[in-house]
Amino acid sequence: MAERSFAHEVGKLRMGLGQEFRGEGILAVTKALLQSGVGYVGGYQGAPISHLMDVLSDAQGLLQELGVHFEASASEAAAAAMLAASVNYPIRGAVTWKSTVGTNVASDALANVASGGVTGGALVIVGEDYGEGSSIMQERSHAFAMKSQMWLLDPRPNLESIVAMVEHGFALSEASNTPVMLELRVRACHVYGSFVAKDNRPPKFTLQDALDSPTRDVNRIVLPPANFLHEQEKIQKRWPAAIEYVRRNKLNEFLGGSAGEVGIIVQGGLYNTLIRALELLGLADSTGATDLPLYVLNVTYPLIDEEIVEFCRGKRAVLMVEEGQPEYIEQALNTILRNADVPTRVIGKEVLPRAGEYTGQVLQIGIRAFMRKYAAEQFAAATPLIPSQAAELPKEVQALAALLPVRPAGFCTGCPERPIFTAMKLVQRELGPLHISCDIGCHLFSILPPFNLGNTTMGYGLGAAGASAFNAPRNKRALAVMGDGGFWHNGLTSGVGNAVFNQSDQVLVVVDNGYSAATGGQDILSSRAVNRSKSTRHPIADAVKGVGVKWLRVIDRTYDVGRMRDVLREAMTAPEKGPKVILAASECMLNRQRRERPAFNKAVGEGKRVVRERFGVDADTCTGDHSCIRLSGCPSLTIRPNPDPLRQDPIAHVDNSCVGCGVCGEVAHAAVLCPSFYRAQVVFNPSKWDRFVSGVRKRVIQFLQRRADRRRMRYAF
Amino acid sequence: MHSERPISIAIAALGGQGGGVLAEWLVAVAELHGWMAQSTSVPGVAQRTGTTVYYVEMSPKPAPGRRSPVFALMPVPGDVDLVVAAELMEAGRTVVRGLVTPERTTVVASSHRVYGITEKSAMGDGIADANAVLSALNARARRLICFEMEAAADRHKSVISSVLFGAIAAAAVLPFSRGTYEQAISDYGVAVKANLAGFQAGFDQAMQSSPVAGWAPPSSAPTTELGRALDERIKREFPAHLHGILQEGVKRMLDYQDDAYADLYLERMTQIRSCDESVARLSRDFSLTNAVARYLALWMSYEDTIRVADLKTRSRRFERFRAEVRAGADQVVYVTEFMHPRFEEVCETLPAGLGSWFSNSAFARRLSAPLFRRGRHIHTAKLGGFVMLSLLAGMRRWRRSTLRYRVEQARIADWLERIRNLAAAPGGYRAAIEIAECQRLVKGYSDTHARGLKNYQTVVEAAERMRGRSDLADAIRQLRNAALADEAGLKLASVLSEVAPDG
């Protein structure tokens, strides 16, 4: 794995019965998996579940002791297919990924495993990346659960509830022979809290047991006629079994009061936000005590008809707090109540927004509208903690919004991907604007300022495929970008192989930074690092050549902007047909610094001669045009007020976070910018020779400088 | 109903500022005190330069048999006790998000700026107005503790989180003792000494809460014979409120060339002053003279190769770069300059006749092309590089004979004439000032300089075509701002077709 160590977290995974576990939500899930006797875990990293993968990857020792197999899968599809091990054998397995993007990739395997059904508990943990801070399309995982008939858990966002739901998830899966999805929103994944741990349990039935005596049941395989049988079985056997388990174990909770004309039904994951909104409206206290009846759906699919009918009967209206759209639960409630002849009105998207995250503010507004209409007396008796107009901002504060600078995500200081896009900008100056098909990964930040490069992104590893339609005989070629993560995820086949097969005349830049960097720096097939538990160092160049690419250029130092630009130009204008692949390889600076910085500091401490490089800008010669920033965007390349009393525009400035990657100088050269940049080589613990040579130089230089100073003194004001 | 409410804390930070650590420390303080606490965040892609809000809630442990509080996972406008911001604009963002309310919210914020990419990449001055944010904070916060924390962190080789943490302790919004905070830093076990020093600095400065000092223009008194003569001339011939800027101008001319050049500057300024006097007889603020004083000094000290070499070899520059890269006294520092002289720059440094012959000769250009294809690395702290640049700087004495000098002086004369003509025309005074300010477009080197010059010419020629129009000044200003909007000149072209369509 990457250079980051999770040894501290691994220690927490070893906690036993009665110990208090404190930590993040996703780490609690990891611990719950081990407490549940899981036999194997797989997944594909991505926020907000990367932590689960990273910690397990560092916990190889513990996993071996327990006999748990862990795999960093090549893709979500590969992870989902792992669940095949639970089809024939009573082995519990869990897989995880970022949703809905990962669920999209996994859905072929998920549909198959859901159709045939499982013997051992199969749990799919999805990090629901929805709302603030999300980087993906805003969709719901709920649809996947419904279409394949997998059960969907949405626990209240506290560690105890989350852990309990992991444990119930396996049992529910086994009781209903159905894979179960556990949905965790971003904040729940990162929530810090505590729960009382149990002992870890080794799996009862192991993978070795399965290999020693394999069993098969042709009725579990998705082939006619079994596939028709599966659909009948889902409806007639597995669904009722799930309902029975959920009811008997009271997975959904009836909280709050029992009287009154109205009630609220809420997805478990939104419970805390709901309570805060009720509290601020004066309808609950900070512990969640309220007179309003609440029905908390820790299981959002399937719904339990009897529980819903029981909750709604006798009420004028219920408020359905369901985030996202389409409003599947609200629609289902209406069907259930009509079928049961219960006239209770279901109010959901009528008072709550159809789209967007349900924040405390949004819920307050919705609940207020609901209560005023359906329980006006009860609402009038409540004293809100915050007057409703308090949230309204004065005009001058609203005006401030336009003034605040936007802060789009960008490449890190010293990122080796930045010069690739600088070179693209320079090539565009020569060839005119290009159509650029982007991918998923850090390199997607090229879309944002200051690069403003890229037309589309169609999904992970799909950069090259996204350019495949542009195989038209034209002088200009489409340019595609793909990261090494996306390359191994599926880009080798869907992008490179596809382009070779279809003789696509595109240019593909594969950004090889040595890690799946955007998801936290995990190792992949082509990583240069030696990994104890994985096989790495399989060059992308070999794979590209292996599928038949003839035109390949490898750049092993992307910081060389001039060369990068020349190779791009060559690829865009080469007479050869078919895909032209540029492999742009330099190590991710974030990971490199994690390794090199401590080593550097150690060497300095030991008195060894080491050289630190960094860049600077001469305030005297910088005229404040900021071309350099528009071509770089490095966080360490910033501005400061102009020290010159005559000049007004702020000047460029390199702050001390500079890692000396060299791009500033290369850009100044390649784009013929200005002579203001300088590279400083600071020699720590200089040798005797260093001191001698620099002493001589210093004396001569200072002699000349004193002479020039004297002249300047004569012409001083 | 139960009335005790959790304390809510929102931490606004940029990716990499350590907001997560601060949240962990706050949770630790609460737990050390026997309270219960929860924190959460939405890092997402904010880990790289974006913004993010960490959210912490804490409350005393419930009495036996009582229910625990339900902590929320995100701040609700109007319901935040403490807002912590690791940067000024991010503090402003919490105000816009409604998290700061006069009834409830204490704000602990650093007043330093981390510029956004749009501020940094602007072609001129794109820095957002910090005063607007400060006054909004003052108006909305129940109590505001705001000072420059980045510098304090830097001084103690710590991170801004520790200084913020100290300021939070001093703000006394949370009912915990100072020792508990320090305990939390020690228990965390990373860079404890530096973090405790940062904490101390934050605590002390928050207790004093010193206001942010404003910038005052330096006033200068001459120190040499030459200086005194020029200063007397300035004082004799110009109104008092222009003395400061003219002194700066004269200083620049002396530094750039010599006293004769300073005289030339003042001569040109005298012409502008008399033009100003004859036109704006009633108002005595000499706005035109003021504007030209600044831009003429900048134009007359255009950056040629001689100037760059001069600035690069100065002793003060050597001191400056050592300080900038934080080199210790015992460390050796070498600098490498990235220079890319082109054929044009070399021609410009030659004597005018020769230079113009060369620059018009396609043969010479072709022959010398390989020399200029690549940029040059010049090692200024080594002898070869230093001596070469020194010799180049010494060519100052022949500067007046160079091609560049001739070209620039002609441009300056043309610019001044346009200004005088405009100012003399009825209603053209404001437009003349706008033309003076157009010098701002001409800056940088090589392509950047060429682009700026082209934009400048486009604007002044458009102004010529629009002579006599009543909205001339506004039109020039619009064009100038458009020229600074993008590199490709798209905005300038569109504004041009709008305000001066016959171009």
- DSSP secondary structure string, A27-41? HHHHHHHHHTT--EE
CA proximity to A359, closest of B161, B99, B5:
B99
Q: Which of residues 193-222 of B touch A (CB under 8 A)?
A: 215, 217-218, 220, 222
| Smallest Cα distance from B320 to chain A, Å | 9
Low-confidence ranges of chain A (pLDDT < 70): 1-4, 388-391
Lowest mean pLDDT, pick from A304-308, B72-76, B216-220:
B216-220
Collapsed DSSP state (helix, strand, coil) of residue A473: coil
* Rounded average pLDDT over B105-125: 94
Pick from A133, A396, A646: CB nearest B44: A133
pLDDT band for position B2 (cuts 50, 70, 90): very low
A460 inside domain? yes
Q: How far is it, in rounded angstroms, from Cα A357 to Cα A296?
A: 18
Q: Domain range for residue A519?
A: 418-591
- CA torsion, ordered A619, A624, A627, A628, to nearest 10 deg: 20
> What chain A residue is nearest to B90 in terms of C-alpha separation?
A404
pLDDT band for position B246 (cuts 50, 70, 90): very high
- Residue at token pair 């001058």: A396
- Residue at token pair 């980087």: A135
| pLDDT in the model for residue A671 | 86
For residues A587 and A620, state if they share a domain.
Answer: no
For residues A195 and A101, state if they share a domain.
Answer: yes
Q: Pull the structure tokens for residue A712.
A: 């300047």
What's the distance, CA A108 to chain centroid?
A: 21
**Chain A positions in Cβ-Cβ contact with residue B189 (cut-off 8 Å):** none
Contact B76 A276 (CB under 8 A): yes
Pick from B125, B333, B334: CB nearest A649: B125
CA proximity to B61, closest of B37, B29, B90:
B37
Omega of the bond leading into A179 within 30 degrees of 0 (cis): no
| Smallest Cα distance from A653 to chain B, Å | 10
Collapsed DSSP state (helix, strand, coil) of residue A346: strand
H or E element, residue B82: strand B82-85
For position A379, which CATH number holds?
3.40.50.920
Q: How far is it, in rounded angstroms, from Cα B24 to Cα A29?
A: 20
A206 inside domain? yes
| Smallest Cα distance from A682 to chain B, Å | 5
What's the distance, CA B385 to chain centroid?
A: 31
CA proximity to B271, closest of B442, B428, B424:
B424
Q: How many CB atoms lie within 10 A of CB B437?
A: 17
Q: How far is it, in rounded angstroms, from Cα A513 to Cα B384?
A: 38
Pick from B46, B76, B125: CB nearest A133: B46
H or E element, residue A509: strand A507-512
Q: What angle do CA A690, B331, B389 make, to 5 degrees?
A: 75
Q: How many CB atoms lie within 10 A of CB B144?
A: 20
B66 in Cβ contact with A180 (< 8 Å): no
A76 in Cβ contact with A116 (< 8 Å): no
| Smallest Cα distance from B468 to chain A, Å | 30
**Chain B positions in Cβ-Cβ contact with residue A360 (cut-off 8 Å):** 72, 74-76, 79
| pLDDT in the model for residue B214 | 37
Q: Pull the structure tokens for residue A101.
A: 């993007």
A409 inside domain? no
Indicate the pairing of strand A192-196 with strand A262-267.
unpaired
For residues A475 and A579, state if they share a domain.
Answer: yes
**Chain A positions in Cβ-Cβ contact with residue B81 (cut-off 8 Å):** none
Q: How far is it, in rounded angstroms, from Cα A347 to Cα A349?
A: 7
Q: What angle do CA A386, A389, A390 make, to 5 degrees?
A: 50
**Chain A positions in Cβ-Cβ contact with residue B321 (cut-off 8 Å):** 616, 618, 678, 680
| Smallest Cα distance from B249 to chain A, Å | 8
Which of A404, A447, A560, A702 to substitute to test the interface with B, most B CBs within 10 Å? A404
- CA torsion, ordered A603, A605, A606, A607, to nearest 10 deg: 90
What's the distance, CA B168 to chain centroid?
A: 30
A337 in Cβ contact with A314 (< 8 Å): no
| Smallest Cα distance from A445 to chain B, Å | 10
- CA torsion, ordered A157, A161, A162, A166, to nearest 10 deg: -150
For residues A298 and A427, state if they share a domain.
Answer: no
For residue B332, list its beta bridge partners. Answer: A683
Contact B125 A624 (CB under 8 A): yes
Domain-terminating residue out of A338, A366, A388: A388
Contact A701 B383 (CB under 8 A): yes
Omega of the bond leading into B69 within 30 degrees of 0 (cis): no
A263 inside domain? yes
pLDDT at B16 exceeding the cut of 90: no
Neighbouring residues of A82: CB distance < 8 A, sequence distance ≥ 6: A40, A42, A71, A73, A93, A95
Neighbouring residues of B117: CB distance < 8 A, sequence distance ≥ 6: A405, A406, A407, A408, A410, A448, A449, A450, A629, A633, B49
Q: How many CB atoms lie within 10 A of CB A360?
A: 23
For residues A70 and A170, state if they share a domain.
Answer: yes
For residues A346 and A424, state if they share a domain.
Answer: no
For residues A437 and A565, state if they share a domain.
Answer: yes
Angle between helices B88-96 and A395-403 (to 10 degrees): 130
| pLDDT in the model for residue A529 | 86
Collapsed DSSP state (helix, strand, coil) of residue B329: coil
Contact A407 B92 (CB under 8 A): no
Q: How far is it, in rounded angstroms, from Cα A648 to Cα A641?
A: 8
Exposure of A81 in the CB half-sphere (CA atoms within 13 A) = 9
Indicate the pairing of strand A122-128 with strand A93-99.
parallel
Domain-terminating residue out of A215, A248, A281: A248
Contact A717 B249 (CB under 8 A): no
Pick from B76, B114, B223: CB nearest A360: B76
A410 inside domain? no
CA proximity to A171, closest of A121, A107, A230:
A121
| pLDDT in the model for residue B164 | 97
| pLDDT in the model for residue B502 | 64
* Length, in residues, of chain B: 503
Domain-terminating residue out of A230, A248, A266: A248
> In A262-354, where do the E strands start and end?
262-267, 293-297, 299-301, 317-321, 345-347
Classify A421 in phi/psi space as left (phi over 0), alpha (psi -120 to 50) or beta: alpha
| Smallest Cα distance from B250 to chain A, Å | 8
Omega of the bond leading into A643 within 30 degrees of 0 (cis): no
For residues A353 and A434, state if they share a domain.
Answer: no
Domain total in chain A: 4
Which residue has better confidence, B248 or A387?
A: B248
For residues A272 and A334, state if they share a domain.
Answer: yes
Give how far Cα A158 sits from Cα of A24, A52, A132, A432, B70, Å.
10, 17, 20, 54, 9
For position A579, which CATH number holds?
3.40.50.970
CATH number of the B7-208 domain: 3.40.920.10
pLDDT at B258 exceeding the cut of 50: yes
A559 in Cβ contact with A586 (< 8 Å): yes
For residues A559 and A637, state if they share a domain.
Answer: no
pLDDT band for position B49 (cuts 50, 70, 90): low
Give how far Cα A107 sits from Cα of A325, A440, A501, Å.
20, 19, 26
Contact A680 B321 (CB under 8 A): yes
For residues A651 and A553, state if they share a domain.
Answer: no
For position A617, which CATH number holds?
3.30.70
A399 inside domain? no
> What chain B residue is nearest to A432 in terms of C-alpha separation?
B488
- CA torsion, ordered B440, B444, B450, B454, to nearest 10 deg: -10
> What chain A residue is nearest to B119 in terms of C-alpha separation?
A405
A152 in Cβ contact with A238 (< 8 Å): no
A33 in Cβ contact with A94 (< 8 Å): yes
| pLDDT in the model for residue B29 | 97
Q: How many CB atoms lie within 10 A of CB B56?
A: 28
Q: How far is it, in rounded angstroms, from Cα A617 to Cα A636?
A: 12
CA proximity to A174, closest of A93, A263, A236:
A93
A600 inside domain? no
Give how far Cα B360 sits from Cα of A182, B142, B304, B343, B355, Å.
74, 69, 19, 11, 9
Collapsed DSSP state (helix, strand, coil) of residue A582: strand
A443 inside domain? yes
Burial of A535 (0-12, 13-18, 19+ CB in 10 A): exposed
| pLDDT in the model for residue A472 | 86
Give how far Cα A604 sits from Cα of A526, A595, A597, B328, Å.
32, 15, 11, 13
Indicate the pairing of strand B332-339 with strand B376-379.
antiparallel
